[in-house]
Amino acid sequence: MNEQTGVRKNYDVLIIGAGPGGCSCALALRKTGLKVALIDKSEFPRDKVCGELMHRKAVETLTSIVPEFEQEFKQFPKTLVLKHTRIHYKGKSMVFDWVNESYTCPRLELDNFLLSMVKAKSDTDVYTATPPDKITVDDNGVTVTIKNSDTVFTGKMIIGADGANSTVAKQLTVKVLDRKHYLGAVRAYYSNVKNTDDVTSEVFFNSKFGLNYLWVFPTQGHISNVGFGLLSSDISEKRINLKDAFYDYFKQSPELTEKFADAEQISPLEGFGVPLGSSIGTVSGNRFMLLGDAASLSNPLSGTGMGNAVLSGKITADQIIKTFMQNDFSETFMKQYDAELQRAIVDGLMSSYKAQRTLSKLPFILDLVFILAKNKRIKKYIQSIV
């Protein structure tokens, strides 16, 4: 294709990826007067395989951008508000009542809900079923061609919000997969799981592969999102078949065997990868920034990433505003984004990584938590800080 003869669409900002991070960024730019395009390779609604747990931080961030967000999100029929977590370990269990509630919502529904909000509450031009192909950055701006199309997008800067396998990151940075900082996981939906409710998540810890856990998260319609993950380095070195390990997990735990005795698996067991925030590479450069999983911002301890994706979307939007005000799109100016990301997210990820490594090497600490949490004051303190 000759780009000169293609259909050219000109914007100030090109956001690649319409998941929670990309939508957060687009919404945060809604009153800036900038011309924004939100581009995603998939048609919506589309599923995204993950644990589907959304922490309070994500809702607070989105509500700071769109004041009515929390009310509309909680009223959305597919949203469940979680207030408790039951932790299982070595035949013992304990319920923690969290001060900060969390949420589950199937990604098929959540991502479409957020994209609908972008369409309704901003002037962002949304392009779905539009897979980016070649990305070119030079002193004049950014050019993006589209696979099997003569359409060409141009902009003054580009945002990579396109997940773990980010096209933007692959083309504009040097990405090397470090298996020690990458999680391989599997997930399936189950019905008829015993002793579940709509306000309690559950995690089952097991030390077979180093301390790790299997999650059971409730979703709308009395369906449970059930999953399990391991570091890719362990999967590779120990030649673990992750799907076999998932089903073996049930055999290792009498509690799980009983809990799933009458359960029915109602979806395929699907795999997905999570780039962990224990190793942060390049997140910005000349005319570009990365956010969410494209920037490896998932929590090394829990594996969750939606809260940081949403927050990084807002931080990205703040930097975009500064960039246009100063008319400076240079790699040097973008380092302000790196610094704010470090302060707001990455420092916390490093603390979680240290905790994850400590638990992995010293699993008896979890025994200690169970003992200490019998004290009501200590338990209350744990509940207040998580």
Same domain? For 214 and 341 the reply is: no
Query: What pLDDT, on a 0 to 100 scale, did the predictor assign at position 1?
Result: 36
DSSP string, 240-287: --HHHHHHHHHHH-HHHHHHTTT-EE-S--EEEEEEBTTS----EETT
Lowest mean pLDDT among 3-17, 47-61, 112-126, 322-336: 3-17
Query: What pLDDT, on a 0 to 100 scale, did the predictor assign at position 383?
Result: 64
Tokens of 142: 């950014």
Same domain? For 209 and 351 the reply is: no
169 within domain boundaries? yes
Same domain? For 33 and 130 the reply is: yes
92 within domain boundaries? no
Same domain? For 76 and 218 the reply is: no
Same domain? For 22 and 80 the reply is: yes
138 class by beta-carbon count within 10 Å (0-12 exposed, 13-18 middle, 19+ buried) = exposed
Instruction: Quote the CA–CA distance of 259 and 113 in Å, as a whole number.
Output: 32
95 within domain boundaries? no
Tally of domains in the chain: 2
Same domain? For 260 and 294 the reply is: no
CATH number of the domain within which 229 lies: 3.30.9.10
Residue 2 has pLDDT above 50, yes or no: no
Residues 71-88: what's their mean pLDDT?
95
Does the reported pTM lie above 0.85? yes
Query: What pLDDT, on a 0 to 100 scale, did the predictor assign at position 379?
Result: 73
Strand partners, 276: 298
91 within domain boundaries? no
pLDDT over 90, % of the chain:
75
Same domain? For 251 and 286 the reply is: no
Same domain? For 191 and 231 the reply is: yes
Residue 165 has pLDDT above 80, yes or no: yes
Residues 164-169: what's their mean pLDDT?
96
Same domain? For 282 and 271 the reply is: no
Same domain? For 296 and 222 the reply is: no
242 within domain boundaries? yes
Same domain? For 155 and 183 the reply is: no
Find the farthest-apart pair of alpha carbons in the chain and give their distance in angstroms, rounded: 72
Binned at pLDDT 50, 70 and 90, residue 386 comes out as low
The range of the structural domain enclosing residue 64 comes to: 3-86+100-176+277-359
Average pLDDT in the chain: 92
Residues 55-68: what's their mean pLDDT?
96
Residues 90-105: what's their mean pLDDT?
90
224 within domain boundaries? yes
331 within domain boundaries? yes
Query: What pLDDT, on a 0 to 100 scale, did the predictor assign at position 322?
Result: 98
Residues 321-350: what's their mean pLDDT?
96
Same domain? For 118 and 261 the reply is: no
CATH number of the domain within which 171 lies: 3.50.50.60
189 within domain boundaries? yes
Binned at pLDDT 50, 70 and 90, residue 3 comes out as very low
Binned at pLDDT 50, 70 and 90, residue 385 comes out as low
Cα-based distances in Å from 174 to 275, 282, 312: 15, 8, 21
Which one is predicted more confidently, 238 or 142? 142
Strand partners, 96: 85
Residue 296: left if φ>0, alpha if ψ -120 to 50, beta else—which one? left
